[in-house]
């Protein structure tokens, strides 16, 4: 397994181009199953999670062609049983259930296992499918959904943790070809849900309210092929803003949507950093003094759970006491033990991390555990004394396109060591 060596203490400055959004591209690629006609999706990031999704679609019978960031997909003749060995590697593969159910009225997918950020149930997805008239059968680690007919319904997707992003997308994709009107109450408002809805609308779907808590879908007879460019990755962008905060003179991000970044920009400004946005560019520069923060992760438009680990890395080196509470995935603190190996002073109290800033972290061998925790360890290494060795770097490659190369272009000194 590859590892990354981060030489601490280098200052970052300059420009970085942000890639297309992983969490938007994954459901959009799945949505191409809803038509027999060819679809062209551009600005698709080159990530292992995307590779897994394209492999699953090929195994289902799709013709898939990829040329750098553009993917052509044609789902003319497809089967409805996804291959276990690939599906188990990526929870997001659950989002093929909705389009397969919508088009073929049946689908079988292996149940996503848990992962280090917590149990990853899909009860809300399945409740949504049942409301549309599907029968759900779980056996042998697989979930099978079957619906002789799909009929529009009013569905609540509210959960104790707020809303469900992939659940909202899955139910939307199952409903676009159903008979009649579907109303999703308690829908996720994330930009990735809006991007998926915009792609479905380009295919001929009738959807209103995406980006709000209530989405209304008028079922249509069939969908046609479409072209679509994926939105910028707001979490990659947020990660680079934190890199700039941690060790930047001035770092400018290009090809972003500042509106999607407000929930990250506000706390960084509160923490004392100067941030300016101009069109599709956002720049960050140090202020006079860093300030501690109180952060709560909640569904969009709140502070994103996918940025929690990265902010812990910044706050570990910020004078004063910061409090970070995780309301979406209460167990999402695998990065804390590793940050403490680097000298951070963090006290975990249930789903809250109380961080007492230290003046200097020290480089150490650390273990990546999940996508965002791994990125946080690289960020911590930027500001640490000495070398930080991040092992199991495949976690990072799942969600960040060449993060080491992009950081080195900004002035970091990061080596990737092939194992
Ligand atoms: C999406 O996951 C993202 N992944 C996650 O990003 C992100 O952390 C998450 O949304 C929250 O923003 C993709 O889009 C591929 P959820 P998703 O359903 O949709 C509970 C990353 O780092 N829940 O919104 O799977 C669930 O347990 C990844 O890029 C149920 O209880 O997350 C969690 O506590 C990590 N029942 C909360 O809702 C369900 O049926 C939010 O989960 C579904 C979810």
Using the 3D structure, point to which of 188, 207, 228 is the last residue of a domain.
228
pLDDT of 114 reads 63
Shared domain for 84 and 126, answered yes or no, is: yes
pLDDT of 119 reads 76
Asked if residue 131 has its Cβ within 6 Å of ligand 1, the reply is no
Number of domains in the chain: 2
Coil, strand or helix: which one is 151? Answer: strand
Asked if residue 25 has its Cβ within 6 Å of ligand 1, the reply is no
Shared domain for 11 and 35, answered yes or no, is: no
What's the predicted TM-score (pTM) here?
A: 0.97
Shared domain for 278 and 301, answered yes or no, is: yes
Question: Please, are residues 99 and 176 in contact by the beta-carbon 8 Å criterion?
Answer: no
Shared domain for 131 and 35, answered yes or no, is: yes
Distance CA 280, CA 18 (A): 10
From 31-40, 107-116, 198-207, 306-315, the region with the lowest mean pLDDT: 107-116
- Domain harbouring 272, CATH code: 3.65.10.10
Shared domain for 205 and 117, answered yes or no, is: yes
The answer, yes or no, to whether residue 112 has pLDDT greater than 80, is: no
Q: Whose CA is nearest to atom 24 of ligand 1?
A: 164
Shared domain for 111 and 66, answered yes or no, is: yes
Is 115 one of the catalytic residues?
A: yes
Residue-wise pLDDT tens digits, 223-274: 999 999 999 999 999 999 999 999 989 999 999 999 999 999 999 999 999 9
Q: Residue 212 is part of which domain span?
A: 22-228
Report angle CA 108, 111, 117 to the nearest 5 degrees.
150
Shared domain for 211 and 248, answered yes or no, is: no
Q: Please choose from 161, 236, 331 the residue to mutate so as to test ligand 1's pocket, defined by most ligand atoms within 8 A of CB.
A: 161
pLDDT of 160 reads 84
The answer, yes or no, to whether residue 95 has pLDDT greater than 90, is: yes
- 90 C-alpha to center of ligand 1: Å? 12
The answer, yes or no, to whether residue 140 has pLDDT greater than 90, is: no
pLDDT of 88 reads 78
The answer, yes or no, to whether residue 57 has pLDDT greater than 90, is: yes
Other beta carbons within 10 angstroms of residue 118's beta carbon come to 15
Atom of ligand 1 nearest to the CA of 127: 40
Q: Please choose from 30, 92, 163, 166 the residue to mutate so as to test ligand 1's pocket, defined by most ligand atoms within 8 A of CB.
A: 166
Asked if residue 123 has its Cβ within 6 Å of ligand 1, the reply is yes
Using the 3D structure, point to which of 189, 209, 228 is the last residue of a domain.
228
Shared domain for 10 and 48, answered yes or no, is: no
The first and second tokens of residue 255, run together, are 């090809």
The answer, yes or no, to whether residue 127 has pLDDT greater than 80, is: yes
DSSP string, 336-347: HHHHHHTT-EEE
């Amino acid at each position: 397994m590859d590892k990354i060596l981060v030489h601490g203490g280098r200052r970052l400055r300059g420009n970085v181009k942000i890639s297309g959004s992983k969490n938007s591209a994954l459901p959009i690629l799945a949505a191409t199953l809803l038509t027999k006609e060819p679809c062209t999706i551009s600005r698709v990031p080159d990530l292992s999670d995307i590779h897994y999704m394209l492999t699953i679609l090929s195994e289902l019978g799709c013709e898939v062609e990829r040329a750098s960031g553009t993917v052509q997909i044609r789902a003319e003749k497809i089967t409805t049983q996804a291959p276990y060995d690939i599906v188990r590697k990526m929870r997001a593969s659950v989002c093929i259930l909705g389009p397969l159910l919508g088009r073929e009225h049946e689908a079988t997918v292996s149940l996503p296992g848990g992962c280090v950020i917590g149990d990853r149930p899909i009860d809300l997805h399945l409740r949504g499918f049942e409301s549309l008239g599907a029968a759900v059968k779980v056996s042998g680690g697989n979930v099978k959904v079957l619906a002789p007919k799909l009929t529009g319904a009013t569905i609540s997707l509210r959960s104790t943790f707020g809303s469900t992003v992939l659940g909202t997308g899955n139910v939307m994709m199952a409903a676009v070809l159903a008979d009649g009107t579907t109303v999703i109450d308690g829908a996720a408002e994330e930009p990735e849900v809006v991007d998926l809805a915009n792609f479905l609308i380009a295919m001929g779907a009738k959807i209103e309210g995406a980006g709000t808590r209530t989405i209304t879908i008028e079922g249509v007879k069939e969908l046609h092929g479409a072209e679509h460019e994926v939105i910028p990755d707001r979490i990659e962008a947020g990660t680079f803003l934190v890199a700039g905060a941690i060790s930047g003179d001035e770092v400018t991000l290009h090809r972003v949507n500042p509106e999607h970044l407000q929930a990250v920009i506000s706390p960084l400004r509160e923490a004392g950093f100067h941030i300016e946005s101009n069109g599709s560019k956002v720049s960050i520069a140090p202020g006079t003094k860093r300030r501690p923060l109180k952060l709560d992760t909640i569904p969009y438009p709140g502070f994103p759970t996918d940025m929690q680990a990265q902010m812990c890395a910044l706050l570990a080196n910020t004078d004063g006491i910061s409090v970070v509470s995780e309301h979406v995935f209460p167990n999402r603190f695998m990065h804390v033990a590793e940050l403490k190996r680097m000298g951070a002073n963090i006290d975990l109290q249930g789903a809250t991390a109380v961080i007492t800033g230290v003046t200097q972290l020290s480089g150490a061998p650390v273990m990546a555990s999940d996508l965002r925790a791994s990125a946080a360890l690289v960020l911590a290494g930027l500001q640490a004394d000495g070398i930080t060795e991040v092992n199991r770097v495949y976690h990072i490659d799942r969600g960040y396109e060449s993060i080491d190369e992009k950081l080195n272009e900004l002035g970091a000194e990061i080596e990737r060591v092939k194992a």
